[in-house]
Amino acid sequence: MRKPKINFIIAFLALISIISSCNMEPPLSRKVKFMALLKNHTAAEKVYLSGDNEKLGKWKPGAIELEKESDSIWSKTIEFKNGDRINFKFNAGSWWTEALDSNQQSYNNSALKVKSDTTVSLKIFDWKNKMLNGMPVLTSKRFDAARPSMVLDDLWKYKPGDSTGWSKEIVDDRDWKTVNPLIDWGNDPGYKWDGTGWFRFHMYVDSSLWGRSLAMLIGQLGASDIYYNGKYLCSYGEVGSSEAAYNPSQNRLWRELKLDPKSEQVIAVRYRNDEWKGELKLGFAPGFVINVKNVNPVLKSVYERTRYLVTREMVFTLIPLILFLFHLLLFTFYPKQRQNLFYAVCLLGFAGITYFNYEKYVVTNPVLIILYYRLNDISLPLTAFFGLLTSYSISSAKLPKRWMIFFALTVPLLIFGIIDPLGQVTNANYVFLGLVMINLSIVSFRRKHWADQKGSRIMLGGFIVLLFFIAYQILIDYSIVSPPFNDSQVFVYGMLALVISMSTFLAYNFSQINRNLETQLENVKRLSEEAITQEKIAAKLEIERRTIEAENERKSRELESARKLQLSLLPSEIPNYKNLDIACYMRTATEVGGDYYDFFLSDNNGLTAVIGDATGHGLKAGNMVITIKGLLCALSENSNLEEIMDQLNNAIKKMNLNMLTMGLALVRLNGDRLIYSSAGMPQLFLLRNNEKRVEQIVLKTMPLGAFHNFPYNQVEEQVYPGDVILMVSDGLTELFNAEKEMFGPDRVGDLLLASMGMSSNETINYMVYESGKWAGDAPLVDDISAVVIKIPVN
């Protein structure tokens, strides 16, 4: 009797076991086999896997090494938690060697949700770059038309500070830090950046590229000097040696880079950014990045991009601006229609969005770039808010109270758009646009508001289409959908739909108002009167043109007279003083220049040589020269040059010449004693004959007439037989050539040294010829004057 009971218990336990087995929890981990299939003889010493999971190295390149099954198959099996979502990529050891697809483009991140044991494979047709000894290798295949540009955003050797020797081809930079040049290094204490530093990029160049030209583009917010294999290549902005000389500039132009016929090559960049802290706070990378690309695709892409930007900017900026003025005038003439005012501001916001959105990719001044980002973020909520007010004012005579809610949301968006142009305000703007879209949808379905507004629904339909394209733009910006036809700015089409709908609405109303013949006749009459007015205006303009021509002739005669007067102020002959060899030169940039030189002799104080530079050119500068000439005739007998400068300065300042100033330098020679004083003039050059070197005597002072009681001073030097004194105006030291390079005082000194042994007249002729040859066809923008005095050899 016990056996059936035992069998029943066994059967019950077996049933429980089966039921339990059916409800078991799934395994806690799953195995995923990653396979890289190398195609078309794509070689690699090793293949690696990187991803966003800790087991994939948290996107560290070369984190997980795959095992080689054959020359074309590499694999690795890794266990993950069930339900994990992972993103991954294959590479050959660094992000420089990402895997490429059949179109020679980098793969996007591959995504996988781990649900079961599985195998994922990816065909690799090539690697983004080749590497050798940790340096990239440039090959002709790398610059095929289908390939993306080579972005030099890593593997740079960096050292803070500034030394011209670091531009040389051979520099021991093995102990330099390896960094990315964007200078977004965070708070890592191993990296130091204080505004200026040098970066060096080493690479191998395959012989197939020797002598070939590539296109190079540097993106930056600071200023840079670029050297290639130790040779100066180009500059963008002005790095300068002082804060005043620093001038940052963004670069938009590709430049030719002709590769030298050698294997190991180096690019060196001297980089400076004084505003890097503020740019980091705003979300900008304050460093630089260099792109290298095939020349032909660059020329094509630059042309297409320029045409694209210019066309879109003109069309989608001018149309809303014209309509803005039109509706503003409508509101001015009939203020009761508030929708014209709201719509005008809305259109102005649209014009701002389009203009600033395109201009921030065109301008080169970093300050303007950041400003346009701010203005773009401000324009967006303004456009949406006033578009909403427009729809409210059309649908009802009184604005609903909820407009104040949207106003309260708009104000902080405007404030944060100014403070943080690259921060979370962009996301907040998108949320705000979503709320506006929902509200407009509610308004559009309330038909009772539209019973007496024939044609108004056409305009509201334009708003709905616009908001649709704004939503589409948001999806593109967050990479949820791909842009159609490679056009990443689709919101402009929504704006065009709004413009068309508004024009249709206005045309409809216009046709209702202008159906009677009398109105049409009035229009004809008005047009006739405008035609007559235009004829009168044309006749008046012709009279004004002839008057202007006569006035120009009169001014030309006056300028010629002023020029002759200025020349008469210069010394008619060079003074003969103790056998000094003296020569002078002057070339004016306009008919009447502002430069001046002169000599004064006295029995006690010897020879006083003067050279000056008045503010600007033309008649005002000529008047300043006349004033200085007269004052010096009265003061030149003074034995103290400091006192002469003080008296000249106070006299000019008391004349109240409306911002006119005068740079002036005085040199007094008496035996072997030289006394020098300067007011805002370039340095004095002194060629030491015995030592065969040139001294530059610099006095940092303000021009005459700039400040009351400015403390001028003088220096005293001893001169020796054969020494040469050179006085110049800043027209020579600040001479520019066609490449916008400044001649500079060092080049002046080099020419003076090279003229050793020449007479004073030969020295001036030599310097004029060499500086003119260096400047080339560049126009002369400032007067050039020079005085050379050579001490006789006993």
**pLDDT confidence of residue 6:** 45
- 690 burial type by CB count under 10 A (0-12 exposed, 13-18 middle, 19+ buried): exposed
Distance CA 17, CA 658 (A): 105
Q: Kindly tell me the burial class for residue 211, based on how many C-beta atoms sit within 10 Å of its own C-beta (0-12, 13-18, 19 or more).
A: exposed
Confidence of residue 508 (pLDDT cuts 50, 70, 90): low
Gap between the Cα atoms of 131 and 6, Å rounded: 75
**Strand-pair partners of 586:** 785
125 versus 16: the higher-pLDDT residue is 125
Residue of 317, 320, 318, 322 whose CA lies nearest to 358: 317
Greatest mean pLDDT among 290-304, 459-473, 633-647, 691-705: 691-705
Terminal Cα distance for the chain, rounded: 149
Is the pLDDT confidence value at 9 over 50?
no
Per domain, the residue ranges of the chain are 29-128, 131-300, 334-513, 573-790
- Percent of the chain, pLDDT > 90? 35
Q: Which of 659, 605, 653 is nearest to 631 (CA)?
A: 653
Domain 573-790 is found in CATH 3.60.40.10: yes
Mean pLDDT lowest among 102-106, 329-333, 541-545, 676-680: 541-545
Q: What's the pLDDT at 25?
A: 53
Tell me which of 12-16, 539-543, 747-751, 769-773 is least confident.
Answer: 12-16
Give the H/E segment covering residue 664.
strand 662-670
Q: What is the pLDDT of residue 455?
A: 58
Distance of alpha carbon 289 from alpha carbon 152, whole angstroms: 6
Query: Exposed, middle or buried by CB within 10 Å (0-12, 13-18, 19+), for 779?
Result: exposed
Q: For residue 728, with 0-12 CB atoms within 10 Å meaning exposed, 13-18 middle and 19 or more buried, which class applies? A: buried
Of the pLDDT bands very low, low, confident and very high (cuts 50, 70, 90), residue 421 is: low
Q: Is the pLDDT of residue 343 over 50?
A: yes
* DSSP β-bridge partners for residue 686: 695, 725
* 429-443, 531-545, 579-593, 624-638: range with lowest mean pLDDT: 429-443
The Cα–Cα gap between 600 and 787 comes to 14
Task: Name the more confident of 130 and 475.
Answer: 130
pLDDT digits (tens, 9 = 90+) for 112-130: 999 999 999 999 998 888 8
Over range 257-273, report the average pLDDT: 95
Kindly give the residue spans of alpha helices, DSSP state H, lying in 478-516.
491-513
pLDDT attached to residue 462: 76
pLDDT at 685: 96
C-alpha 223 chain-centroid distance: 10
Residue labelled with tokens 């506006």: 436
Cα three-residue angle 220-222-223, rounded to 5 degrees: 100
3-state secondary structure of 522: helix
Position 689 scores a pLDDT of 92
Encoded amino acid at 210, one letter: W
Cβ neighbour number for residue 595 with a 10 Å cutoff: 27
Within its chain, how far is the Cα of 428 from the centroid?
Answer: 27
Task: Name the β-bridge partners of 217.
Answer: 291
pLDDT of residue 241: 84
DSSP for 587-604?
A: E-SSSS--EEEEEEEETT
Tokens, residue 737: 């050539």
Q: What is the pLDDT, as a whole number, of residue 556?
A: 63
Phi, psi of 214, rounded to the nearest 5 degrees = -115, 170
Percent of the chain as helix, strand, coil, to the nearest 5: 45, 25, 35
Query: Does the domain made of 131-300 have the CATH classification 2.60.120.260?
Result: yes
Length of the chain, please?
Answer: 794
Mean pLDDT value of segment 451-471: 68
Distances (CA, A) of 705 to 7, 106, 646, 657: 121, 65, 10, 8
Distance CA 640, CA 677 (A): 10
Q: Read off the DSSP letter of residue 676.
A: E
558: confidence class by pLDDT, cuts 50, 70, 90: low
For the ranges 229-233, 380-384, 507-511, 622-626, which has the lowest average pLDDT? 507-511
Q: What is the pLDDT of residue 253?
A: 80
Choose between 503 and 612: higher pLDDT: 612
d(CA 771, CA 732): 8
Helices (H) and strands (E) in the chain, counts: 15, 32
Q: Is the dihedral of CA 774, 780, 781, 782 positive or negative?
A: positive
Residue 2, pLDDT above cutoff 50: no
Residue 633 binned pLDDT confidence (cut-offs 50, 70, 90): confident
**Contact indicator for 362, 310 with CB cutoff of 8 Å:** no
Q: Residue 640 gets which letter from DSSP?
A: -
Choose the weakest-confidence range: 95-109, 253-267, 291-305, 608-622: 291-305
Please answer whether residues 204 and 150 qualify as being in contact, where contact means their C-beta atoms are separated by less than 8 angstroms.
no
Q: How far apart are CA 158 and CA 357, in angstroms?
A: 34
Nearest to 703 by CA among 628, 769, 781: 628
- pLDDT at position 431, please? 80
CA 504: distance to chain centroid? 41
- Cα distances from 762 to residues 615, 635, 769, in angstroms, run 30, 32, 10
Residue 23 — pLDDT band, cuts 50, 70, 90?
very low
pLDDT at 14: 47
> Using 50, 70 and 90 to split pLDDT, how confident is the model at 78?
very high
Q: What is the pLDDT of residue 7?
A: 47
Would the pLDDT of 221 be above 60? yes
Strand ranges of the sheet holding 118-124, from the earlier edge strand across to the other edge? 67-70, 73-81, 29-38, 118-124
Look at 109-123, 296-310, 632-646 and tell me which has the smallest mean pLDDT.
Answer: 296-310
196: pLDDT strictly greater than 80: yes
Quick one: pLDDT at residue 498? 74
At 696 the pLDDT is 95
Q: How far is CA 117 from CA 79, 88, 110, 120, 463, in A?
A: 9, 17, 17, 10, 51
Q: Which amino acid is located at 18 in the chain?
A: I
Whether 22 has a pLDDT exceeding 50, the answer reads no
Mean pLDDT across the chain: 83
Phi and psi based region of residue 29 (left: phi greater than 0; alpha: psi -120 to 50; beta: remaining): beta
Pairing between strand 724-728 and 714-718?
A: unpaired
Residue 336 burial by CB count (10 A; 0-12/13-18/19+): exposed, middle or buried? exposed
Q: From CA 737, how far away is CA 771, in angstroms rounded?
A: 9
Neighbours of 305 (CB within 10 A): 12
What's the pLDDT score for residue 265? Answer: 95
Give the strands of the sheet with 48-51, arranged side by side: 64-65, 48-51, 85-91, 110-113
pLDDT band at residue 610 using 50, 70 and 90 as cut-offs: very high
The Cα–Cα gap between 184 and 289 comes to 12
Axis crossing angle, helix 403-419 with helix 425-444, rounded to the nearest 10: 160
Q: Where are the beta strands (DSSP E) in 128-185?
A: 130-132, 135-138, 150-152, 156-160, 177-179
State how far the Cα of 663 lies from the Cα of 404, in Å rounded to an integer.
61
- pLDDT value for 483: 74
Cβ atoms < 10 Å from Cβ of 311: 10
- CATH superfamily ID and name for 29-128: Immunoglobulins (2.60.40.10)
d(CA 602, CA 598): 14
